[in-house]
Amino acid sequence: MTLALPPTSCKVNTPPELAKAMVKALGNEPGLSWLEPSHGSGVFVQAIAELGVRKKHIVAIDLDPTPSDADRLATTFRRVDFLQWAQATSRRFDRIVGNPPFISIKRLKVSLRKTAAAILDMDGTPIGISANVWYAFVLASLRVLKKGGSLAFVLPSAAEFSSYSAAIRDSLHDTFQSLELYRCTRPLFDAVQEGTVVAIARGYRLGPCKVRRKRFSKREQLIEALSESGKVWGRRCRPRPAFSLPSLVQVKSIARVRLGGVTGDASFFLMNEDTRKKLRLPTSAFTPVISKARHLRFSKLERHEWNELRNAGERVWLFNPTPLLVRRESRIRNYMYPREGGCNRNAYKVATRRPWYRTPLLTRADAFMSGMCQHGPWLCINEFSKLRATNTLYVLKFFEQFRDERYMWALAFLTSISQRQIRGIGRHYADGLVKYEPGPLSEVELPRLNGEADHQKLYELAIKALQASDITLAKNIADSVRL
- Can you give the C-alpha Rg of the chain in angstroms? 27
Q: Between 239 and 351, whose confidence is greater? A: 351
pLDDT tens digit sequence for 248-292: 899 999 999 999 999 999 999 999 999 999 999 999 999 999 999
Name the 3-class secondary structure at 208. coil
Sign of the alpha-carbon dihedral angle for 388, 377, 258, 332 = positive
What pLDDT, on a 0 to 100 scale, did the predictor assign at position 336?
95
Lowest-pLDDT range, 91-95, 196-200, 236-240?
236-240
Residue 8 in this model has a pLDDT that exceeds 60? no
* Measured distance between the N- and C-terminal CA atoms of the chain, rounded to whole angstroms: 59
Tally Cβ neighbours within 10 Å of residue 352.
Answer: 9
Span 315-324, average pLDDT: 97
Lowest-pLDDT range, 51-65, 111-125, 335-349, 428-442?
428-442
pLDDT level of residue 229 (50, 70, 90 thresholds): confident
Burial of 313 (0-12, 13-18, 19+ CB in 10 A): exposed
pLDDT level of residue 152 (50, 70, 90 thresholds): very high
Residue 156 in this model has a pLDDT that exceeds 90? no
Lowest-pLDDT range, 84-98, 179-193, 351-365, 457-471?
179-193
What is residue 126's DSSP assignment? Answer: B
Name the 3-class secondary structure at 419. helix
What is the residue-wise DSSP string for 91-125? --EEEEEE-----BGGGS-HHHHHHHHTSB-TTSS
What pLDDT, on a 0 to 100 scale, did the predictor assign at position 174?
79
In the chain, which residues fall in CATH 3.40.50.150?
Answer: 8-236
What pLDDT, on a 0 to 100 scale, did the predictor assign at position 82?
96
Q: Between 159 and 385, whose confidence is greater? A: 385
Span 439-446, average pLDDT: 92
Lowest-pLDDT range, 66-70, 119-123, 424-428, 453-457?
424-428
What pLDDT, on a 0 to 100 scale, did the predictor assign at position 243?
41
What pLDDT, on a 0 to 100 scale, did the predictor assign at position 242?
41
What is the residue-wise DSSP string for 252-295? GGTEEEEE-B--S-HHHHEE-HHHHHHHT--GGGEEEEE-SGGG
Which value, to the nearest 10 degrees, does the dihedral of the CA atoms of residues 272, 274, 277, 281 take?
-20
Q: What is the CATH number of domain 8-236?
A: 3.40.50.150
pLDDT tens digit sequence for 159-200: 765 667 778 877 777 789 999 989 876 666 655 545 678 999
What pLDDT, on a 0 to 100 scale, did the predictor assign at position 163?
64
Bridge partners of 318, per DSSP, are: 270, 287
User: What's the mean per-residue pLDDT of the chain?
Assistant: 88
Give the strands of the sheet with 367-369, arranged side by side: 255-259, 394-398, 367-369, 380-382, 300-301
pLDDT tens digit sequence for 216-228: 878 889 999 998 8
The percentage of residues in the chain with a pLDDT greater than 90, rounded to a whole number, is: 66
Residue 341 in this model has a pLDDT that exceeds 90? no
- Closest to 296 measured CA to CA, from 286, 309, 307: 309
- Closest to 458 measured CA to CA, from 311, 7, 159, 466: 466
Q: Between 117 and 243, whose confidence is greater? A: 117
CA distance 276 to 270: 10
CA distance 126 to 107: 17
Residue 246 in this model has a pLDDT that exceeds 80? no
The percentage of residues in the chain with a pLDDT greater than 70, rounded to a whole number, is: 90
Residue type, 95: R
Residue type, 443: E
Name the 3-class secondary structure at 275. helix
Under 8 Å between Cβ of 298 and 380: yes
